[in-house]
Amino acid sequence: MEYPIRPLSSYDDFKACEQLQSEVFGYQDIEIIPYQLLQSFTHAGGIVLGAFDHDSLIGTAIGYTGLSEDGNAYHRSQRLAVLSRYRGQGVGENLKRAQAKVAQQHGLKVMCWTYDPLRSVNAYLNIHKLGALSNRYIEQMYTVSSSPFDAGVSIDRLWVEWRLDGPVVNRSLNLEQAISTGKAKTVLSNQEDRPSQLILEDNRPIVVIQIPANIETVRENSLDRLIAWRSATRQAFTYYFAHKYQVHDYLIGAGYVLIRMDD
């Protein structure tokens, strides 16, 4: 089933969006984007969209215009939230694509956002399905968070960029072949939900960084293991990004696929 998406515009819409953020992320009130700011976004060229099941808000995408260091405008997608019972039905992807469409109507060619690189579902959506790329890892992006998802671990994020004016490229087949033929080197392995065999060397054109299939299961079983994953993936991403690799895809059962970008 495809749920209709429209801009949020009324007081009731924005208050429902507040409640949605609280339910999805477990934030305290101070970390929820409040209705006054949501309303201001809509008046200042920001994008605040909602997905609905009849009259009930089930998902939201929130963003605003940002400015890169070289002075180029882009759409900064700040928050994507979907109620748990509606996940796995394409709601998040449809919200992102609707957000991108509005950003293009505003004349913007790039959409950027961050996410936790340990979350495989988000990696598959952002990198594989939408086609965003990443070559930037942000350590401790947020100092603290009231979300239980971030409790006890450094709040690191991947910064991704999604070109809105380029062709959609199906990259998976060639990358799967590279992995199966040994052309790609796995530099961080997932062994029974434990990080293993971290390799830091830049002599391969393609490398793979594995993560757990479900990081929440890891958290439930062992906070120490979650912290170990954060440390290992931080080392891997920061090393390979520093050596001119870029996250090019995320393949279920394989992991992040990074390609060395030639000068």
The mean pLDDT of 8-30, rounded to a whole number, is 92
Chain centroid to CA 261: how far? 22
The mean pLDDT of 59-82, rounded to a whole number, is 95
For position 188, what pLDDT does the model report? 97
The Cα-based distances of 217 to 52, 83, 211, 259 in angstroms read 29, 19, 12, 29
pLDDT tens digits, one per residue of 189-216 = 999 999 999 999 988 999 999 999 999 9
The mean pLDDT of 20-39, rounded to a whole number, is 90
For position 145, what pLDDT does the model report? 67
CA separation for the pair 108, 76 (Å, rounded): 10
pTM: 0.91
pLDDT tens digits, one per residue of 212-234 = 999 999 999 999 999 999 999 99
Say whether pLDDT at 170 is over 60: no
The mean pLDDT of 158-181, rounded to a whole number, is 78
CA separation for the pair 160, 132 (Å, rounded): 6
The DSSP output letter for 199 is -
Collapse the DSSP code of 29 into the 3-class scheme (helix H, G, I; strand E, B; otherwise coil) and give the result: helix
Q: State the pLDDT confidence band at 100, using cuts at 50, 70 and 90.
A: very high
Contact 171, 254 (CB under 8 A): no
CA dihedral 175, 195, 138, 113 (to 10 degrees): 50
The mean pLDDT of 68-90, rounded to a whole number, is 94
How many helices (H) and strands (E) would you count in the chain? 7, 12
Q: State the pLDDT confidence band at 263, using cuts at 50, 70 and 90.
A: low
Contact 53, 91 (CB under 8 A): no
The mean pLDDT of 94-103, rounded to a whole number, is 97
All domains of the chain in start order, with CATH: 5-163 (3.40.630.30), 172-260 (no CATH)
For position 64, what pLDDT does the model report? 96
Say whether pLDDT at 173 is over 70: no
For position 31, what pLDDT does the model report? 84
